[in-house]
Homo-oligomer: A and B are copies of this chain.
Amino acid sequence: MSKKNRTKPGTSPGTLIFTGNKKLSEPNVTLVQYDEADYIERHEKNHLPSLRPGRFLNWYDIRGLHQINLIEQIGKQFNIHQLALEDVLDTQQRPKFEEYDNGIFITIQALTYDPEQIELKTEQISIFSGQKVVVSFQEDENELFIPIRERISASKGRIRRRGADYLTYALLDLIVDNYFLILDQVEDSIEQLEVNIVQKQDNNYKNNIHQLKIVILKLKKIISPLREAVSQFSRCDENHLDSETSVFVRDLYDHIIQLIDMVDTYRDIITGLQELYLAEISLRMNNVMQVLTIISTIFIPLTFLVGVYGMNFDTMPELHWSWSYYALWAVMLALVLFMVHYFKRKKWL
């Protein structure tokens, strides 16, 4: 859980305040313009390339959000609602979908997972999709959407023929597909932990278990609200979602349901692992106690016996019999054998 820069309570709603903590030197803006025939790609720094009107679909990929005036300029140019812009800048948003008259607005969290630290990093992606224009906002310069750009430039397929709604879907689909990879890595962490606990290579996994739990909670918090958001997307106005594309959005919805199922299953498994670990500790304590008990139970009576014949009473007839020392050894040996037999029957040995 990273600290947030909260908006000060009492500031006017819709006030644009950047709450993230990664600052590039300058925001990067990539403008991709394409139709079935042509494909143009332009890269700018902290400056908005002008929109060419007409047949092209324009995709602005904004990376870096700390230049408020750039964001405001974008908002003005494409007529994005003030509250949506505020959500773009508040980088700890719950995933959500909003429909406005002139377009739709979606926020989603892109994920990276560090299996060493068992830590999940999020980066908020906001997408505004309007008439022949898509604007995607992203906090840092990591070029997440290169595969999409390549697909557009390479193929003349579906993505080149369809509109802003399909591009929006494709961006979401890329992020959601990535969730599956993240979940596979989390699953690897879980399995590794399970193997470690069962094979007792080391003995302190409680922190790992706790951190995995936090990761899974975070995943749940990020993926669960997507269900509602994508469901709203799939049911939104025909102006904003073509019926042909909506089949794909429903497919995306199915993927999210599957992700939620997986996260729930992982959660149950990690709970099970914790119980396994606690049972493991208890069993190990049992073993420790058994060793102690066996040793004590065998030697304490023997120590008593040898103590008896270390006493200095004047009258202790046994001390003077020539065979008594050997007899005592025999008695003690018998005692040990009896004990060993007893522990064997109790399955402690």
Q: Which of A161-189 contact B (CB under 8 A)?
A: 170, 173-175, 177-178, 180-181, 184, 187
Per the bound structure, the CA–CA distance linking A70 and B132 in Å amounts to 38
**Is A341 on the interface with B (CB-CB < 8 A)?**
no
Tell which of A40-48, A202-210, A234-242 binds the partner.
A202-210
In the bound complex, what is the Cα–Cα distance between A321 and B315 (angstroms)?
8
Scoring A residues 1 to 33 as 1 if CB is less than 8 Å from chain B, else 0, what string do you get? 101101111111100000000000000000000
B148→A94 contact, CB < 8 A? no
**Residue contact B306 to A297, C-beta cutoff 8 Å:** no
- Residue A309, interface by CB 8 Å: yes
In the complex, per-residue mask of A248-292: 1 if CB is within 8 Å of any chain B CB, else 0:
100100100110010001001100111111111111111011111
- Complex alpha-carbon distance, A265 and B220, angstroms: 9
Contact mask for chain A residues 149-165; partner B; CB cutoff 8 A; 1 contact, 0 none: 01100010111000000
Cα A322 to Cα B96 with chains together (Å): 88
Return A84 CB to nearest CB of chain B, in Å: 10
With both chains docked as a complex, state the minimum distance between the C-beta of A277 and any C-beta of chain B, in angstroms: 7
- Identify whether the interface residues of A are mostly helix, strand, loop, or mixed: helix
**A304 / chain B contacts, CB cutoff of 8 Å:** 299, 302-303, 306
A300:B297 contact, CB within 8 angstroms = no
Of all chain B residues, which has the CB nearest A323?
Answer: B315
- Set of chain B residues within 8 Å of A221, measured between Cβ atoms: 261, 265
Instruction: State which of B147, B251, B348 has its C-beta within 8 Å of the C-beta of A10.
Output: B147
Given A174-B9, A217-B269, do A289 and B285 touch, yes or no (CB 8 Å)?
yes
Contact assessment for B269 and A173 in the assembled complex, using a CB-CB cutoff below 8 Å: no
- Among B9, B285, B313, B319, the residue within 8 A (CB) of A178 is B9
Cross-chain contact of A292 among B81, B180, B254, B297 (Cβ < 8 A): B297
Contacting residues of chain A (310-334) with chain B, CB-CB under 8 angstroms = 310-316, 318-325, 328
Q: Are B151 and A12 in contact (CB under 8 A)?
A: yes
Pick the contact of A290: B148, B288, B325, B347 (CB < 8 A): B288
23 A–B pairs (Cβ distance < 8 Å), ordered by A: A6-B177, A8-B147, A10-B148, A12-B151, A12-B155, A12-B157, A12-B159, A210-B272, A210-B275, A221-B261, A274-B279, A282-B282, A285-B286, A286-B288, A291-B297, A292-B297, A299-B303, A306-B311, A309-B313, A312-B319, A313-B319, A313-B325, A315-B321
> Which chain A residues have a beta carbon within 8 Å of chain B's beta carbons?
1, 3-4, 6-13, 81, 83, 93-94, 96, 147-148, 150-151, 155, 157-159, 170, 173-175, 177-178, 180-181, 184, 187, 191, 194, 198, 200, 203-204, 206-207, 209-210, 213-214, 217-218, 221, 225, 247-248, 251, 254, 257-258, 261, 265, 268-269, 272-286, 288-293, 295-297, 299-304, 306-316, 318-325, 328, 347-348
